[in-house]
Amino acid sequence: MSRRITFIQAVREAFQEEMRRDGSIIILGEDVRKGVFATTSKLVDEFGPERVINTPIAESAIVGAAIGAAMTGLRPVVQIMFSDFTYMAMEMIANQAGQWHYISDGVLKTPMVIETPGGARGGAGYGHSQSVEATFIHPPGLKVVAASTPYDAKGLLKSAIRDDNPVLFFEHRRLLTQRGETPQEEYTIPLGRADIKRKGTDVTVVAYSASIPKALIAAERLSQQGIEVEVVDPRTLVPLDKETIFASLQKTYHLVVVEEGRRRGGFGAELAAIAVEEWFDYLDAPVQRLGGLDAPLPYSPVLETACLPSADDIVHAVLRSLGQEV
């Protein structure tokens, strides 16, 4: 049985199902009991204040506490209210959470999830609107998830919670209230498996999170011009499902990559680099890389929007890739 539920509900269900299944899962964060953005709201009624813990405003120490708890037998989920604030815990995430399993030669494990909504949705301003997920591609030992649909969110979050590594689970605010078909029955989606959101033969567009709806709009428009775009959603940036992307490229020979995070040093940089290293013979044209402007995000919605790639930008990038634009 499948219902159309929101992204928020899907995430909440994943928490609920996993917490029922495994008593070692706890949720830590600021106002997670009431749940300012609702993904955790009312969980406290079912699981009690010992498992759904309101913390002081101290992102670094919250993540630190999750690491210590994870190393000693719990499976903590930390909610960071805005993904911009993950930078406050960068030391704990990148230097500690991701490293102790390896340097302890496998003795310690840090099974934990950082759930964090972010991204631009107009009017929140420079430090409440960024898409910072690409930052976490570089440090070792972390997994990075960024789902684009309720279905994916639920299945991936359940896998993330069961994973024995620290997983960053990025949610885009513009998607949180979107609905999508989601089965009532138990399912999981493995981390590291891409999904083809639209089949096509002419150009491969790799996009994720809130760039997927834009890519699909662009694909529709292009289809009317006879250009069939394949939209590939990696869903997890680390580990990356290179096989699926490569399989698409082997059909299309054209690659466009889209993200809302800033372009310089973003996810697209890594993907384009993989392409030119490993798939050189399958590139008939320059890779087109779209991302946020390499500047802080201004507040005014007219400005903010202009800093992000649009469906139109994707259309143009595809046309450029095909050599159909001057």
Ligand X SMILES: Cc1ncc(C[n+]2csc(CCOP(=O)(O)OP(=O)(O)O)c2C)c(N)n1
| DSSP assignment of 105-150 | TTS----EEEEEEES--SSS-TTSS---GGGGGSSTT-EEEE--SH
- Assess 57 for contact with ligand X (CB under 6 A): yes
Q: How many other CB atoms are there within 10 angstroms of residue 167's CB atom?
A: 26
Nearer to ligand X, 13 or 171 (CB): 171
- Of 31-39, 98-106, 185-193, 242-250, the segment contacting a second copy by CB under 8 A is 98-106
The reply to whether 77 sits near another protein by the rule CB under 8 A is no
Distances (CA, A) of 203 to 210, 217, 243: 20, 15, 16
Residues numbered 208 to 267 that lie near another protein (CB under 8 A) are none
If contact means CB under 5 to 8 A according to the sort of partner, which of another protein, ligand X, a second copy, none does residue 265 touch? a second copy
**247 near a second copy, rule: CB under 8 A:** no
Coil, helix or strand for 321?
Answer: helix
Residue 138 binds another protein, judged by CB under 8 A? no
Backbone angles phi, psi at 205, to 5 degrees: -110, 115
What whole-number distance in Å separates Cα of residue 19 and Cα of residue 38?
A: 17
* Contact stretch for ligand X (CB under 6 A) within 81-89, 191-199, 262-270, 293-301: 81-89
Considering the complex, state which of residue 80 and residue 153 has its C-beta at the smaller distance from a second copy.
Answer: 80
CB of 103 to a second copy, least distance (A): 5
In the residue annotation, 128 being an active-site residue is answered as: yes
- State the burial class of residue 193 (Cβ atoms within 10 Å of its Cβ: 0-12, 13-18, 19+): middle
Other CB atoms within a 10 A radius of the CB of residue 164 amount to: 12
For the chain, the straight-line distance linking the first and the last C-alpha, in angstroms and rounded, comes to: 49
85 binds ligand X (CB under 6 A): yes
**Least Å distance between CB 70 and another protein?**
7
Alpha carbon distance 260, 118 (integer Å):
11
Residues of this chain that interact with ligand X (CB under 6 A) are 30, 57, 59, 81, 85, 88
Q: Give the binding site for a second copy (CB under 8 A).
A: 84-85, 87-88, 90-91, 94-95, 98-99, 102-103, 125-127, 130, 134-135, 137-141, 238, 261-262, 264-273, 275-278, 280, 283, 285-289, 294-296, 298-299
